[in-house]
């Protein structure tokens, strides 16, 4: 699906959508780090393993999504021929 960069509202919707998704990914990255820190305070080895791998999975997916959204923002910014960010 190709995006028409000259259609009104496309740029604003793109920026709002990707900034919100980027913030959501950052939230889950921090959430995964908090779970990882909490995992080291557990006494049960089984619970530690579950919490450890769950937190690493959350961190991995969140970090990958952050990179994807940043890459999409940079590509959109380059293709839209903007010299300055939209207002």
> Residue 29: is its pLDDT beyond 80?
yes
Instruction: Name every residue whose Cβ is closer than 8 Å to that of residue 10 and which is 6 or more positions away in sequence.
Output: 3, 4
Residue 81: left if φ>0, alpha if ψ -120 to 50, beta else—which one? left
Higher pLDDT, 48 or 10: 48
pTM of the entire structure? 0.77
Domain ranges of the chain: 31-78
87 pLDDT exceeds 70? no
Whether the pLDDT of residue 86 is over 70: the answer is no
């Amino acid at each position: 699906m190709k995006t028409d960069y000259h259609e009104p509202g496309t740029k604003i919707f793109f920026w709002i959508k990707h900034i919100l998704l980027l913030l959501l990914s950052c939230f889950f990255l921090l959430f995964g780090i908090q779970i990882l820190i909490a995992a080291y305070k557990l006494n049960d080895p089984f619970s530690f393993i579950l919490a450890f791998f769950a937190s690493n999975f959350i961190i991995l997916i969140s970090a990958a999504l952050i990179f994807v959204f940043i890459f999409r923002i940079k590509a959109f910014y380059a293709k839209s021929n903007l010299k300055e960010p939209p207002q």
